[in-house]
């Protein structure tokens, strides 16, 4: 029989609207600005079909998350679900994967932040890395204050970002839709499968909401709704933005395609898009900082890792977990190839989704005693589709992901031996008395 330890939190709760904003901020990140052009470069006008297919695959994992949250409405997300269903070891592995992938994603979006801010607002006077580190420092200070302040900051950033994107999309469709319709008559590249791997990364941020279930009012009902609404909203945004970029540009698709498209649509106001990218990356980094610290704090309270990581300051913030997170993110920012690390993070997240889908399926078997409905077989499809997509990512990224997971396994074994050693010593002292 498994036990669940509820974190002792006395903080303001997020309602449905705030939860949706948090999830959208986690999903959008800097990906919508940096990845849209890359997706089009890979699959051309078939990008829209690729977006739909990737959305359906992610939606299956979202179904598994929602089902598991309804039974375990506590902080911890993927770590908690795997632990309760599959046991301590797989719980630790999933939690470790969530944490490392979150740190990598934070480093990635802050890298994009520094790149856009330096190039479009400072004429590259200040190097990108310094701006990335400064932004991270500010976000960490906000996190040290308390979740409420960071949460309001998060919501404000997401709203600003959405408004700018919608204005750009509206003007682009109104004035350039004819170009899109005309170009559909011609043949274009159509490597949809390869594009889905990139798109998959764009949608994976929804899991952050499950990591802070205790921060949400009535999480059993609010989180499933927030996940589906936020994923659907982001899908629509991606599709419309893809239409605008395809309508305004003929070639040269890549990381900066959205900005080049904005120059045609917005004219002298095109800088609104780099500004939105800056805002979006800050929002995504903030969401993942919150989710990552909750994961590591929960693991510490469950004695999967050292309980030092659960120590809180006067504001109720796990400051040791935040300090550790800061060190890991800074190392990723300074010493690594960010684009490659995102691919590594993709493998880690896909591995987590596989564990989550398996956990959801096993939960259905236990609750229904083997008498399953058709919809409860969806997680198995999620496992198959996720593995299929993973094959289209670089082999080296897969190998590095395995190494990172192995480091986690080594720590788990050492920590377990340390705990067992403490128990043996305690028993010896007690018997000696």
DSSP string, 46-109: GHHHHHHHHHHHHHHHHHHHHHHHHH--STTHHHHHHHHHH-HHHHHHHHHHHHHHHHHHHHHH
* DSSP letters spanning 301-355: HTTSS-GGGG---TTS--HHHHHHHHHHHHHHHHHS-HHHHHHHHHHHHHHHHHH
Give me the half-sphere count of Cα atoms (radius 13 Å) on the Cβ side of residue 266: 22
Point out the least confidently predicted range of 325-329, 347-351, 403-407: 347-351
CATH number of the domain that 356 lies in?
1.20.1740.10
* 432 within a domain of the structure (yes/no): no
pLDDT of the residue at 199:
78
Name which of 247, 276, 255 is nearest 37 in CA terms: 255
Alpha-carbon distance of 333 to 329, in angstroms, equals 6
Highest mean pLDDT out of 25-39, 47-61, 182-196, 308-322 = 47-61
Task: Specify the DSSP class assigned to residue 249.
Answer: -
Cβ density class 240-258: b for 16+ within 10 Å, e for less: bbbbbbbbbbeeebebbbb
Q: pLDDT band for position 424 (50/70/90)?
A: very low
**Segment 83-111 mean pLDDT:** 89
Q: Which residue has the higher pLDDT, 426 or 277?
A: 277
Asked whether residue 4 carries a pLDDT value surpassing 50, the answer given is no
* 288 within a domain of the structure (yes/no): yes
Judge contact between 136 and 110, C-beta under 8 A: yes
Asked whether residue 53 carries a pLDDT value surpassing 90, the answer given is no
- Tell whether the torsion through CA atoms of 3, 19, 65 and 385 is positive or negative: negative
Question: 245: Cβ–Cβ under 8 A, 6 or more apart, which residues?
Answer: 36, 37, 40, 253, 257, 258, 261
* 410 within a domain of the structure (yes/no): no
Render pLDDT for 112-150 as a digit per residue (tens, 0 to 9): 899 889 988 898 899 989 999 999 999 998 888 765 444
Q: How far is CA 250 from CA 217, 246, 255, 262, in A?
A: 47, 7, 15, 14
Alpha-carbon distance of 49 to 221, in angstroms, equals 30
Distance in angstroms between the alpha carbons of the first and the last residue of the chain: 33
Asked whether residue 246 carries a pLDDT value surpassing 80, the answer given is yes
* 99 within a domain of the structure (yes/no): yes
Alpha-carbon distance of 67 to 61, in angstroms, equals 10
Q: pLDDT band for position 1 (50/70/90)?
A: very low
Range of the domain at 64: 16-399
Alpha-carbon distance of 280 to 157, in angstroms, equals 7
pLDDT of the residue at 6:
45
Render pLDDT for 147-161 as a digit per residue (tens, 0 to 9): 544 456 667 778 888
* 405 within a domain of the structure (yes/no): no
Q: Which residue has the higher pLDDT, 339 or 257?
A: 257
Specify the number of domains making up the chain. Answer: 1
Alpha-carbon distance of 35 to 242, in angstroms, equals 10
Highest mean pLDDT out of 115-124, 209-218, 294-303, 332-341 = 115-124
Q: Find the DSSP H helices in 146-256.
A: 147-183, 192-203, 219-248
* 220 within a domain of the structure (yes/no): yes
Give the rounded percent of residues in the chain with a pLDDT score beyond 90: 20
pLDDT of the residue at 166:
93
Question: 334: Cβ–Cβ under 8 A, 6 or more apart, which residues?
Answer: 129
Alpha-carbon distance of 25 to 165, in angstroms, equals 13
On the 0-12 / 13-18 / 19+ scale of CB atoms within 10 A, 342 is: buried
Alpha-carbon distance of 151 to 373, in angstroms, equals 38
Q: Which residue has the higher pLDDT, 340 or 377?
A: 377
**Segment 15-21 mean pLDDT:** 87
Asked whether residue 222 carries a pLDDT value surpassing 70, the answer given is yes
**Mean pLDDT of all residues in the chain?**
81
Cβ density class 135-158: b for 16+ within 10 Å, e for less: bbeebbebbbebbeebbebbbebb
Alpha-carbon distance of 326 to 289, in angstroms, equals 9
Question: Phi first, then psi: what are they for 216, rounded to 5°?
Answer: -115, 135
pLDDT of the residue at 329:
93
3-class secondary structure, 1:
coil
Render pLDDT for 312-348 as a digit per residue (tens, 0 to 9): 887 777 888 888 899 999 998 887 676 677 778 888 8
Question: Phi first, then psi: what are they for 252, rounded to 5°?
Answer: 70, 30
* 10 within a domain of the structure (yes/no): no
């Amino acid at each position: 029989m498994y036990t669940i330890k509820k974190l002792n939190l006395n903080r303001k709760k997020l309602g449905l609207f705030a939860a949706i904003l948090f999830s959208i901020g986690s999903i959008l990140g800097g990906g919508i600005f940096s990845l849209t052009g890359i997706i089009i470069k890979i699959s051309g006008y078939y990008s829209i079909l690729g977006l739909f297919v990737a959305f359906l695959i992610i939606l299956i994992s979202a179904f598994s998350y929602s089902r598991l949250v309804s039974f375990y409405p506590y902080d911890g997300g993927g770590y908690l679900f795997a632990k309760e269903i599959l046991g301590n070891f797989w719980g630790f592995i999933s939690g470790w994967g969530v944490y490392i992938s979150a740190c990598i994603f934070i480093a990635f979006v802050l890298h994009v932040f520094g790149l856009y801010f330096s190039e479009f607002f400072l004429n590259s006077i200040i190097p990108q890395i310094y701006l990335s580190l400064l932004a991270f420092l500010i976000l960490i200070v906000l996190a040290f204050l308390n979740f409420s302040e960071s949460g309001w900051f998060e919501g404000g950033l997401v709203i600003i970002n959405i408004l700018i994107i919608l204005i750009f999309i509206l003007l682009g469709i109104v004035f350039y839709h004819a170009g899109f319709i005309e170009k559909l008559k011609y043949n274009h590249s159509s490597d949809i499968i390869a594009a889905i791997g990139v798109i998959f990364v764009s949608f994976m941020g929804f899991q952050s909401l499950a990591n802070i279930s205790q921060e949400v009012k009535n999480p059993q009902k609010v989180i499933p709704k927030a996940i589906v609404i936020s994923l659907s909203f982001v899908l629509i945004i991606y599709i419309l933005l893809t239409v605008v970029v395809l309508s305004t540009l003929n070639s040269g698709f890549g990381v900066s395609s959205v900005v080049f498209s904005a120059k045609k649509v917005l004219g002298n106001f095109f800088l609104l898009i780099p500004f939105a990218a800056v805002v979006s990356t800050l929002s995504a980094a903030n969401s993942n900082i919150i989710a990552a610290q909750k994961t590591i704090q929960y693991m510490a309270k469950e004695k999967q890792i050292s309980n030092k990581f659960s120590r809180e300051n006067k504001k109720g913030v796990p400051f040791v977990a935040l300090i550790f997170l800061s060190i890991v993110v800074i190392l990723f920012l300074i010493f690594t190839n960010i684009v490659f690390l995102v691919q590594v993070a993709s493998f880690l997240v896909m591995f987590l989704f596989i564990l989550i889908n398996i956990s959801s399926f096993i939960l259905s078997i236990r609750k229904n005693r083997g008498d399953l409905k058709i919809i409860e077989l969806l997680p198995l499809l999620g496992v198959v589709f996720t593995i299929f997509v993973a094959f289209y990512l670089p082999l080296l990224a897969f190998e590095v992901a395995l190494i990172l997971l192995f480091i986690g396994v080594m720590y788990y074994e050492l920590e377990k031996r340390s705990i067992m050693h403490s128990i043996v010593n305690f028993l010896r002292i007690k018997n000696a008395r």
